[in-house]
Amino acid sequence: MSLLVEWRGVNTTVGDNALALIALPGVGNIGKASLDALNEINQAEEIARLHHTALPPLATLDEDGLLSPPHLSLRSIESITGVRLITIVGTSQPLESQHQGAMAREIMEFLKSENVDNLIVLAGMVDIATRKETFIVPSSSSFRVELESMSADVRRDEPSSGAIGMAALLSSYGPLFGINSACAIATTVGSSGDIHASQRLLESLDKWFGLGVALPKDAKEKLSKKLESMAPKQTSDHLSELTESPDAFYM
């Protein structure tokens, strides 16, 4: 395995949790901004870092001012309703499809070994500006029935042309590893950070899963700062490097 788990503090296991949420850089950075804000607002504890050789070789300064190799940060949030959430967020993801597949499978193996039963991937989908929707797409019929019983907006016809990227793999690999997985999607224009889409995504998850992590009044300001900090200085289109299907959307 190329995945190295670095436990932080006294932690040696993920522990009991009701739900794992994961987001990576993608369309409009909708999912990543949502989880970054959620972690900051709820003072989430970092319990592990997931290092993988497939990540771009860029070491960065962490929150302690220390040089850190590329990784995904795994954090824990204790909600006011007693629900324990796990969030996994990264600043980058592999650009080559074979590396995305390998890393996604190893992350799923790790989550399975830590007895994570439910995984929701947060993502954005490019659409017209007037369409402001949030929905969820599961990877198994049994999980779909469960989500529908929770009054979640479950779609069976979107994304009609499929999806690509590591987020798409993580949200669809669930049945192979005995994990309930799904992708929660917010529509966005996609050309820049969409604060409203990020907030809409968080509010929908809170409504569907009863997270008990209501956002404070300055949520929009926090999301705005997160999106601004993640905005690239120059635009790059990696879509052609990942797929030959121009109709599939990149998550």
The fraction of the chain above a pLDDT of 90, given in percent, is 54
Who wins on pLDDT, 240 or 33?
33
What is the mean pLDDT of the segment spanning 230-238?
A: 47
**Residue 119 CB contacts under 8 Å (≥ 6 apart), including other chains:** 19, 20, 21, 22, 111, 170, 171, 174, 179, 180, 181, 182
Nearest Cα to Cα of residue 195 among 167, 235, 225: 225
pLDDT averaged over every residue in the chain: 85
DSSP H/E element including 78: strand 72-78
**What pLDDT score was predicted for residue 236?**
43
**Residue 164 CB contacts under 8 Å (≥ 6 apart), including other chains:** 97, 239, 242, 243, 245, 248, 249, 250, 251
Domain boundaries of the chain, sorted by first residue: 3-232+240-250
**What pLDDT score was predicted for residue 159?**
85
Q: Is the model's pLDDT at 205 over the cut of 60?
A: yes
**What pLDDT score was predicted for residue 244?**
42
**What pLDDT score was predicted for residue 150?**
95
Place 242 in a pLDDT band, splitting at 50, 70 and 90.
very low
Q: Is the model's pLDDT at 212 over the cut of 50?
A: yes
Report whether the peptide linkage leading into residue 159 is cis, meaning its omega lies within 30 degrees of zero: yes
Q: Would the CA dihedral through 120, 204, 82, 45 be positive or negative? A: positive
Who wins on pLDDT, 241 or 68?
68
What is the mean pLDDT of the segment spanning 108-115?
A: 97
**What pLDDT score was predicted for residue 238?**
40
Q: What is the DSSP string of 111-171?
A: HHHTT--EEEEEEEEE--TT---EEEEESSHHHHHHHHHTT--B-SS-STT-EESHHHHHH
**What pLDDT score was predicted for residue 228?**
62
Place 250 in a pLDDT band, splitting at 50, 70 and 90.
low
Q: For 53-62, 143-152, 162-171, 183-192, which range has the lowest pLDDT when averaged over its residues?
A: 183-192
pLDDT in tens, 135-166: 999 999 999 999 999 999 999 998 877 788 89
- The class that CATH gives domain 3-232+240-250 is alpha beta
What is the mean pLDDT of the segment spanning 82-99?
A: 90
**Residue 135 CB contacts under 8 Å (≥ 6 apart), including other chains:** 153, 154, 155, 158, 184, 185
